[in-house]
Amino acid sequence: MTATLHAMRRTRASFPRRSRYCRNSTTLYPKKETMSTLREGGCACGSVRYRLESDPLSIHCCHCLNCQRQTGSAFVINLLIEADRVKMIAGAPRPVEVPRDDGSTQRIFRCPSCQVAVFSESGRPEVRYVRAGTLDRPSRVTPDVHIFTRSKVGWITIPESTPAFDASYDRKSLWPASSLERLDAILT
């Protein structure tokens, strides 16, 4: 084994391991993660920070060409949530009108400093589409549904256990009753 490999192993081993357990006086028990721990996020520079005040209505993985173009990625994962449940902790993202393929525009809210897209509106200002990648713990988010898969890139495999649609879908057939009630409450 080379000296470089030994040095790398020593360096890696010198970092403390993160544990998902807490120690009290006699036992190990899983850390309790609060909603705010799981649902806080912000931009890359830290100027804009937010907290989701509840679970999202739904979590979409969108493969449409607009989302691909706007994110520079193969898809975007959005947490759909009522606008009044997105509480700004620091800073204020700036809305930018972005053209869509159908001639309409979409408002994307970006950090004024680093320009990261934190959330967007698509048609209704009462609903925010929070970018999952801006969460402090994005790996804890799993899409409820994949949409606009007709334009998904070929190398992406969608799990068979997750509903997928060529375009949009009827939310009444997929969303839980509690999410439908929350949406109805803000749209009426």
pLDDT value of position 93: 98
pTM above 0.85, yes or no: no
Per domain, the residue ranges of the chain are 35-187
Please indicate whether residue 167 or residue 25 has the higher confidence score (pLDDT): 167
Q: Which helix (H) or strand (E) holds 108?
A: strand 105-110
The dihedrals phi and psi of 24, each to the nearest 5 degrees, come to -100, -165
Token pair, residue 31, equals: 């850390």
Please indicate whether residue 98 or residue 31 has the higher confidence score (pLDDT): 98
Tell me the pLDDT tens digit for each residue of 36-74.
446 899 999 999 999 999 999 999 999 999 999 999 999
Q: Evaluate if residue 133 carries a pLDDT over 90.
A: yes
The SS3 call for residue 98 is strand
CATH of domain 35-187: 3.90.1590.10
Name the β-bridge partners of 141.
none
Summarize the confidence of residues 168-186 as an average pLDDT. 95
- Give the percent of the chain with pLDDT over 90: 73
Of 5-9, 37-41, 178-182, the range with the lowest mean pLDDT is 5-9
Q: Evaluate if residue 22 carries a pLDDT over 50.
A: no
Summarize the confidence of residues 144-164 as an average pLDDT. 97
CA 51 – CA 86 distance, rounded (Å): 6
Average pLDDT score, the chain: 84
